[in-house]
Amino acid sequence: MKKYLITFLLAFCLAFIPSAAHQEVDNIVEEIMSRMSLDDKIGQLHQIDGRTDLTKVCDMIRKGQVSSIMNIVDASVIDSLQRIAVEESPSGIPILFARDIVHGFKTILPIPLGQAASFDDALICSAARNTALEATEIGIKWAFAPMMDIARDPRWGRIAEGFGEDPYLASRLAVSVVKGYQGDSLSDELSMAACAKHFAGYGAAEGGRDYNTTYVPVRSLYDTYFPPFKACVEAGVASFMSSFNDNDGVPATGNRWLLTEVLRDEWGFTGMVVSDWGSVGGLIPHGVAKDKKEAAKICLEAGCDMDMMSYSYLNNLKELIAEGDVSMYVVDEAVRRVLRLKVRLGLLEKPYTRKTSESVIYSENVLETACRLTEESSVLLKNDGILPLGEDIKTVLVTGPMADAAYDQMGTWALDGDKAHTLTPVEAIRKNLPSGVKLIYVNSLDYPRDKSTDDFKALKKAARKADVLIAFVGEEQMMSGEAHSLSDLHLQGQQSEMLEALASTGKPLVTVFMAGRPLVIASEMELSDAVLYMWHPGTMGGQAAYNLLWGKANPSGKLPVTFPRNEGQIPIYYNHKHTSHIAKGTEGNLDNVPREMPQSVMGHTSSYLDVAPTPLLPFGFGLSYTTFELSNLRVETPEVRASDSVVVYVDVKNTGDRQGCEVVQAYTGRKSASTTRPMKELKAYERVSLEAGECRTVRLEIPVESLAFCRKDLSWGTEPGNYVLTVGTSSEGGLVSYFKLNY
């Protein structure tokens, strides 16, 4: 123990001298490195899964072969393994315990795609902070999140894990999660390290099939896929995870341009990069390395510091160094980055799980925040006036396979969620139902893929006795997430038929969707009088559903992703290019296609013959129980220079009869630039809460530097010229003005 005294003292001091932090961290790291053997160093680049034979794990720790362990969620096991690392391993360096904490730890929050619908940076940040409190309580100090892959293909199961299609929204929200996880200081024992993943382009998997090849050209990487990652670097994210995909022929984990030239040299990232699961070894099936030894060399030299689970570094680096194929400098740099993170997290002076007198897990405040976020994440897509349910509703029929699906409503990556702690809609409605209101619950389909219609007759009979029918439909947890992509995005099983049966009774039908992605829901929307989209809402889904349906909360969510009319429209997203043949007013109806006429009679626009080119529902769209009106758009800065901000004011009035929240969205667009540009791009938004009748002026600020893009010569920057500014309540329509950027 004595030999570590200096290190501990240095580390202890660090906690009290934040300003000297960088130098202090480096001093501590150098001190540790000076007494590490090559084997110790290689061990620090190795991460294992703890869900295995623990005797073997202990043995590896004793040999100094384990730097990080994921997937152990028992504080006493964590502490006992840590004790072995600290007291028995050759270097005494503590282990970094990690977990996929993607949307909540024990208290499961809505899936990230759902959270994005809230457009509420502050609330997402506090919910993420609560997640860190829950996770650090049992010793997890590193979360593999936020996932910030821009996704424009709802077939891709992992669309659930990110913040949708827009780089600006995803950047802001990813930063909120980083701040929530990491707090003001990583060394705070309530903080855990975040991990920006998956770097990069993973969301562009061809055909929406997970792990598939991507072809994202450099220009689109910079314009669309990189921004959230860069924003996280600026926000101080502690780590990055490389992605599984090969982009333009190069697997990300072995891509030196990506992991070193862009991430470190250009953006100045000083943290640590971990591979994705086995993705160092993944270079072999990708076909760019003949064995793990070659893969280890390629990936370490590319800038991937820690090997998650492929054992390529552990088993090959020593030989590679001995043979002179990998330099000691490269190994040392990677080890430094790993150790820096451990030091910054305060692991050296406090390696063990913090002691708490009172658990925050499922505490009132944590659940309350989760519930609020779930309410704000829910998007009201249609309302003929039936919602919120009023006092005239005396009998309610609740049905559908998601009405009481505690497991499924938690969604993908709810590893530590507990269905016993999850409140389902039917439970919440039962618990809260106003006196004098009767609930009829009919379990008409056991689960979303259930193909049996046996109960539909009884369902219709019961429905006729009700004043309103509430159907909870959607997808099982198993339908989205990693390696869970779909080609058909319609409701599965007999769910649509169930909705038809309900609608045929003539009773008002409210359809609530719980799903991991935008589904194809055009006909279900037609059948329904009101539609609420709750994504996979997590632990508090039931309570939030009750609050929203009965008007205890007012929906305010906005779509973070475009809803297609059918799968054939995919990829479809709002910030597309103009094209030379822009589609206008095209219906897309095969019945209107004439027979045996010259091709040109149909015109020449970028559209389809059989479906409109427009989406079913646009990005940014979402209704409320009240209405809002925007007026008086003023651009305070009609002419700006490169270092300025465009400052915009708009009046927002709540024109309805109850309090509500609107998300005011500002988009910019250009008619002419050195490259083709999106028609419009979100550049600012603000959530505003207004009482009935209240009017407020909202100020939006767009720093000119945020108008930068990858110019024709591939340099990053702005270009002078005229800009169109649209301020509205979705990506469609809005008030229009202009400003000019002068150089």
Which residues are part of the catalytic machinery? 276
The angle subtended at Cα 516 by Cα 48 and Cα 118, nearest 5°, is: 105
Closer to ligand NOJ by CB, 203 or 560: give it: 203
Closer to ligand NOJ by CB, 89 or 275: give it: 275
Q: How many CB atoms lie within 10 A of CB 393?
A: 18
Question: Is 524 near ligand NOJ (CB under 6 A)?
Answer: no
Closer to ligand NOJ by CB, 79 or 482: give it: 482
Closer to ligand NOJ by CB, 467 or 482: give it: 482
Which of 367, 307, 297, 354 has the alpha carbon at shortest distance from 335? Answer: 307
Write down the least CB distance from residue 102 to ligand NOJ, Å: 8
Q: What are the backbone dihedrals phi and psi of residue 544, each rounded to the nearest 5 degrees, phi first? A: -65, -40
Closer to ligand NOJ by CB, 276 or 662: give it: 276
Q: Which residues contact 53 (CB under 8 A, 6 or more apart)?
A: none
Write down the least CB distance from residue 168 to ligand NOJ, Å: 23
d(CA 106, CA 123): 18
Question: Is 277 near ligand NOJ (CB under 6 A)?
Answer: yes
d(CA 196, CA 241): 6
Write down the least CB distance from residue 275 to ligand NOJ, Å: 9
Question: Is 149 near ligand NOJ (CB under 6 A)?
Answer: no
Question: Is 100 near ligand NOJ (CB under 6 A)?
Answer: yes
Question: Is 375 near ligand NOJ (CB under 6 A)?
Answer: no
Write down the least CB distance from residue 86 to ligand NOJ, Å: 25
Question: Is 144 near ligand NOJ (CB under 6 A)?
Answer: yes
Write down the least CB distance from residue 148 to ligand NOJ, Å: 11
Question: Is 376 near ligand NOJ (CB under 6 A)?
Answer: no
Closer to ligand NOJ by CB, 276 or 476: give it: 276
Could you tell me if 473 and 491 are in contact, meaning their C-beta atoms sit under 8 angstroms apart?
yes
Sign for the pseudo-dihedral over CA of 150, 153, 156, 158: positive
Write down the least CB distance from residue 126 to ligand NOJ, Å: 23
Q: Which residues contact 243 (CB under 8 A, 6 or more apart)?
A: 149, 197, 198, 199, 200, 201, 202, 252, 253, 276, 279
Q: Which residues contact 296 (CB under 8 A, 6 or more apart)?
A: 280, 307, 312, 313, 316, 317, 320, 326
Closer to ligand NOJ by CB, 149 or 455: give it: 149
Which of 149, 65, 75, 57 has the alpha carbon at shortest distance from 112? Answer: 149
In the structure encoding, which two tokens stand for residue 401, read together?
């396979």
Instruction: Quote the DSSP letter at residue 67.
Output: S
Choose, by CB under 6 A, the member of 40, 134, 153, 276 that binds ligand NOJ: 276
| C-alpha Rg value of the chain to the nearest Å | 27
How many Cα atoms within 13 Å fall on the side-chain side of residue 603?
14
For the CA atoms of 357, 414, 192, 60, the dihedral, rounded to the nearest 10 degrees, stands at 100
Write down the least CB distance from residue 276 to ligand NOJ, Å: 5
Which of 289, 301, 292, 296 has the alpha carbon at shortest distance from 264? Answer: 301
Closer to ligand NOJ by CB, 413 or 563: give it: 413
Question: Is 450 near ligand NOJ (CB under 6 A)?
Answer: no
Write down the least CB distance from residue 416 to ligand NOJ, Å: 13
Closer to ligand NOJ by CB, 241 or 406: give it: 241
Could you tell me if 660 and 689 are in contact, meaning their C-beta atoms sit under 8 angstroms apart?
yes
Number of residues that bind ligand NOJ (CB under 6 A): 6
Question: Is 482 near ligand NOJ (CB under 6 A)?
Answer: yes
The interface with ligand NOJ within residues 170-209 (CB under 6 A) comprises 197
Tell me the CA distances in angstroms from 330 to 31, 255, 271, 335, one per residue in order: 18, 15, 15, 9
Residue 701 pairs in a beta bridge with 647
Write down the least CB distance from residue 718 to ligand NOJ, Å: 34
Question: Is 26 near ligand NOJ (CB under 6 A)?
Answer: no
- Residues of this chain that interact with ligand NOJ (CB under 6 A) are 100, 144, 197, 276-277, 482
